[in-house]
Structure 1
Amino acid sequence: MKIWITIMATVASVVSPMTAHIYFPALDAIAEELNVTISLINLTLTSYMIFQGISPTIFGDFGDMAGRRPAFIVAFVIYLFANIGLAVQRDYAALLVLRCLQSAGSSGTLALSYAVVADITPTAERGKYMGFVSVGINIGPAIGPVIGGLLTQYLGWPSIFWFCAIFVAVWLIPWVATIPEMCRNVVGNGTIPPQSWNITLVEFLKRRKSGEKPEPGPKRKMRIPNPLGTLLITFDKQMSQILLIAAIIYCNFILVAATLSTLFTEIYNYNELEVGLCFLPYGLGCCLTVVLQGYVVDWNYRRIAKKLGVDPSHGRRNEIGDFPIESARIQPIYPSLLAGAAAVIGYGWALQAETSVAVPLVLIFAIGMLVPSTFSILNTLIVDLYPGSPATAAAANNLVRCLFGAGATAVVDYMIDAMGRGWCFTFLALLMVACLPWLRFIEKRGPRWRAEKLQRKNSTDSEREAESGAAETQ
């Protein structure tokens, strides 16, 4: 069941990045049919990225409160109907509004996918499972343009939205039928029954056939999802620094993808389908490394545990305690980050020299192998630090990196024009290199920050208990 849930979460994580990139080859066709300028169509890209950052802050809190099953279902039902609307509409205003709804539905599931893995895996084994979910997130930008190019060229642009609708409908059926609730705030370690309406279709039919009555669980208060919890996490001393570093690394990843289409068309005169195929080495590199990196992260966890004389099963109950989790997660980043920065620099200068297309294709394969794995590991650390609300923590990460990504994609064309291709990507790579001493600082100070935070929490809890006792005495 753990493997099956991970597969479903991985497939779900494909949806948002695939939806963002499958749209690219259709931009000219949509602008022509709706009789609007490309600048107006580009606004639908900006609005998509804005909601891509905001939506997880709502669905993350909803998932931590009500459960993963209902959060996924609500998000993807919104996405399903938005895609149907996009396929049949022929008006720019409808396109803009429905793209926002499409983004809101699909993007909310990014934080939920990481949270699902945090629910079903102990800290000591989490790296490899996070790696599988990262495959889905990283393969989306690779396959999206290829699928979009093929569908737009042979079936017309509305077919890309029908494809997205069918894709998510096929996913929803086994999710509703077979995936049990796994949110620890709802079912604990699996021994607490979920709400009567939050059971699988298979379980419902089994109970109905046998006449078995559902075991009553504890009553749970439902409330309106609060995105402020996500904002509080972004201002935490330790988390804010991790989120900024993850955003800088993510900007390198997204800017290579965002400029690939324009630069390859400009240099090599490729059409939409040919450019879409050039994304495949990028996606292949992403998929290969994030899985392997997960095993490396788990190995490093066990290595440090052995060095400290801690039982390797430490963390099976998702309790970090005073274990140096920062070192366990950050140490594997250093070599990947350095090599990834070198690949980004080489890629920029290969485009500057307009070499054979084989050179940048090999380098984007290397970038895909090295850069995404680094912020994938940071994603694991982020949910490690917030075991009680992993979806909210993942949403905070998504919010910061999407806002940084939106700003970076808005200015990257101006940077390339002003600095040239080579120096632009060199500058971006050097920003990543500058994160190395910053990561080392977090690795050293992180355990102390966590201890201080825990001490403050315990002190606050003691004060509340004392006040409550005094009130009862009176």
Structure 2
Amino acid sequence: MASVACFVPPMSANIYYPVLAPIADDLHVSVALVNLTVTSYMVLQAISPTLFGDFGDMAGRRPAFLVAFSIYLVACVGLALQRDYAALLVLRMLQSGGSSGAIALGFAMVADISVSSERGKYMGIVGAGINVGPTIGPVLGGVLTQYFGWASIFWFCVVLISLWLIPYALFVPETCRGVVGNGSVPPQPWNRPLIDLIRRHRNRRHQNPGDLSQTESIPAHPHRKLRFPNPIRSVKIIFEKEMALVLAYNSLLYVAFICVAATLGTLFREIYHFNDLELGLCYLPYGAGCVVASLGQGYVLDWNYRRIASQIGFAIDRRRGDDLLKFPIEKARLQPVYPAVAVGLAALTVYGWVLHFEVGGVAAPLVLQGVIGLTITGSFSVMNTLIVDLFPDAPATATAANNLVRCAMGAVGTAVIEYMIRGMGRGWSFTFLAALCAVLSPMMFLIAKKGPVWRNARRMREEAS
């Protein structure tokens, strides 16, 4: 459920790209104006998780998911029916606001149900959903638009999210440890699956008077005071020492990733003269590398965690989870990143020059895209896991902070990459991105060395307050 939920936001963003020109024609506006709906979508994509992340940590994952995707569902229906530019602009913002919090909530759900020694593989499964979205989105958008018209992409989103919302509302229980603890604390009645409420109602109706003492022995749900979500909580996390470095380098890797994806369509159309459907298919090798990276890195992370625990004589507790106070979690997570980043940046450089000199046919850049997707995506997926490890008590809020910085830097990167290519050329543009990541890579070693000290100091400061 978490993986599909995390698939929706990037899919919704990328399924829209093939319909920009058809929408502009139908609404009788310029493509530049329709492009503003992309910008507005990205703005809400950065802001929305700061609200839903705090809401999910406070009230629980279920109400946050249900509110977020209900907003998304209404927006998608409106987008499919609207024929006015103002409605398009507002509803795209509403669509982004509803869906974009799902990634923070999905990662938080993983933190709820997994211990740190086994978190890698679960994060990998959720990360696969995130990475499939940008790949499948353009293909779906191109095919649906070609055969059914541009409104069909929004009806597709309506059907998809309905198929998710119904079983989630019916069957999936609350997982937030701040609400249900380890599962022994019952949530509020309004925060229970519908099937659970129906079962309880039937049990009470068929209960004998002599069984009332059993009912009374069930612990009552604690009273929880709800408040309006506070986005400042995510902003505060950004300024913690270890998180500032993790977020900065993680976002830099994301910029390299998104710049390859953002320029693929224009560069391949210019060089190879592909049509829209062929361009959509060109995203598949990139996506395949991303998915393999997300699934594979989880098992690598869990293996490296066990290896380091064995080296330092650290006992792994798979029932209650590990106290990371004396465990170098930064080192355990970042060690696999070093070789992956080195290979990925080399592939990024070669990719730029292959496109610059137009050598190797279409096969060479597609293979290099797969390598970049495998290594760069795997690297920032690992760092996403580290972010959850650093803030296990507020994983949704921490993931929202990551999303805020990542989307902001990604927006800047996609805004300037076309100008860089025009001014510097294809080869030097991607070489510059690779060089920037390489020059700042010592940040990872600093995180591994100083991170435990900063993390423990933060914990002592929080306990004192």
Same fold (TM over 0.5): yes
1:275 is displaced (CA, Å) by 0.4
Q: What is the aligned counterpart of 2:183 among 175, 180, 190?
A: 190
Tell me if 1:347 matches 2:340. Answer: no
SS in 2 for 1:321: helix
Deviations 1:228-282 (A, max 9, x none): 1000001111101110001000001111111111111111111111100000111
Please show how residues 216-295 of structure 1 align to structure 2 within 5 Å.
216-295=220-299
Deviates more, 1:85-94 or 1:315-324: 315-324
Distance between the aligned counterparts of 2:59 and 2:225, measured in 1? Answer: 9
Please show how residues 72-471 of structure 1 align to structure 2 within 5 Å.
72-211=65-204, 216-313=220-317, 316-317=320-321, 319-355=323-359, 356-458=361-463, 460-461=464-465
Alpha carbons 1:86, 1:158 under 8 Å: kept: yes
Deviations 1:113-148 (A, max 9, x none): 000000000011001100000000000011000000
Deviations 1:381-403 (A, max 9, x none): 10111111000000000000000
SS in 1 for 2:189: coil
Alpha carbons 1:21, 1:141 under 8 Å: kept: yes
1:314 is displaced (CA, Å) by 7.0
The one-letter amino acid paired with 2:79 is L
Deviations 1:45-68 (A, max 9, x none): 111111101000000000000000
The one-letter amino acid paired with 2:391 is Y
Runs of 4+ in structure 1 deviating by more than 3 angstroms, as ranges, are 212-215
Alpha carbons 2:249, 2:441 under 8 Å: kept: no
Alpha carbons 2:186, 2:220 under 8 Å: kept: yes
The one-letter amino acid paired with 1:81 is V
Distance between the aligned counterparts of 2:219 and 2:319, measured in 1? Answer: 30
The one-letter amino acid paired with 1:452 is A
Distance between the aligned counterparts of 1:457 and 1:24, measured in 2? Answer: 45
Alpha carbons 1:123, 1:316 under 8 Å: kept: no
What is the percentage of aligned positions where both structures have the same residue? 57
Taking structure 1 as the reference length, the TM-score comes to 0.94
Distance between the aligned counterparts of 1:250 and 1:315, measured in 2? Answer: 34
RMSD (Å) for aligned C-alpha atoms: 1.2
Alpha carbons 1:324, 1:447 under 8 Å: kept: yes
The unaligned stretches of length 5 or more in structure 2 are: 208-214
Deviations 1:263-321 (A, max 9, x none): 11111111111100000111111111211111111111111111111113379425311
Check 1:210–1:391 CA distance in 2 against 1; reply closer, same or farther (3 A cut).
same
1:215 is displaced (CA, Å) by 5.2
SS in 1 for 2:100: helix
1:322 is displaced (CA, Å) by 1.9
Q: What is the aligned counterpart of 2:61 among 60, 68, 73?
A: 68
SS in 2 for 1:361: helix
The unaligned stretches of length 5 or more in structure 1 are: 1-7, 462-474
Partner of 2:45: 52
Distance between the aligned counterparts of 1:315 and 1:298, measured in 2? Answer: 16
The one-letter amino acid paired with 2:373 is G
Deviations 1:196-223 (A, max 9, x none): 1111122112112221768521100000
Alpha carbons 1:51, 1:103 under 8 Å: kept: yes
Deviates more, 1:73-82 or 1:349-358: 349-358
The size of the alignment, in residue pairs, is: 453
SS in 1 for 2:179: helix
Distance between the aligned counterparts of 2:456 and 2:72, measured in 1? Answer: 42
Distance between the aligned counterparts of 1:224 and 1:159, measured in 2? Answer: 35
